[in-house]
Structure 1
């Protein structure tokens, strides 16, 4: 029989628990699930879950890392939202840029340093595109 792999909090080592998103977001929840550190709210680490599954969207993150990941996504997503590359090609670009496999090229898996690199390189690509479009 296959044993379930438990998710551990990278900050305090506690086990993460699958909860309704309202546990964290309250009235601002739009449904769904989150994995939350069992020491929440003392340890304020959690991660969202892909809809209809028990699969986390990344690793547990504290408030600072969640904010950094949101910024990284905001900047990176402009690459495909502006039509510079398709969404699939933008993720392929990210994987190639940082020598990652397709499975590794997900902002939800990144720490602060990698988020900073995605923001930096995405901004460079966006600036290059704007310069070419203007010229």
Structure 2
């Protein structure tokens, strides 16, 4: 006689527990810490949190946490990748501030330009290469738009 398998049902409103992020550089688990742990007195937003590689400061990778949650804003990144992501966000913001596109429009356009599903078009998860592509595409569109306006 076969044993009945137990069916586990998840309440539709409950989200599954998120696993702790793992450092892509050294493979250690990340731990949640106040932003002051990394930034000290230079912390911009009081009460903000980070996931920091448990090998910090030897392994200098971390990522911000969405306020009021335990959800990381992306994947852990070292200094170089964090700077690339900042540059990519700035490039996108120039499109928005220029009046060329709204924020949702930029993400929809970028998703198509990079051939990514919309749910994967998140700079906080981008690699070095995808950040470079984002910067290049944003600058190309902005230059083209400015050229048309000047003509």
Q: State the alpha-carbon separation in 2 of the partners of residues 50 and 84 from structure 1.
A: 28
Instruction: Give TM-score scaled by structure 2 length.
Output: 0.85
The farther-off stretch of 3-12 and 62-71 is 3-12
- Distance in structure 1 (CA, Å) of the matches to 2:34 and 2:122: 23
2:125 equivalent to 1:81? no
Number of residue equivalences: 135
> Scaled by the length of structure 1, what TM-score is found?
0.95
Counterpart-to-counterpart distance in 2, 1:87 and 1:115: 17
After superposition, residues 87-102 of structure 1 pair within 5 angstroms as 87-102=103-118
Q: What is the alpha-carbon distance in structure 1 between the residues aligned to residue 75 and residue 110 of structure 2?
A: 19
1:22: how far off? 0.6
Where structure 2 has 5 or more consecutive residues not aligned to the other structure, the ranges are: 1-7, 9-15
Q: Superposition RMSD on alpha carbons, in Å?
A: 1.3
> Looking at CA atoms only, which structure, 1 or 2, has the larger radius of gyration?
2
Structure 1 position 45 matched with structure 2 position 61 = yes
Runs (4 or more) in structure 1 with deviation over 4 Å come to: 1-4
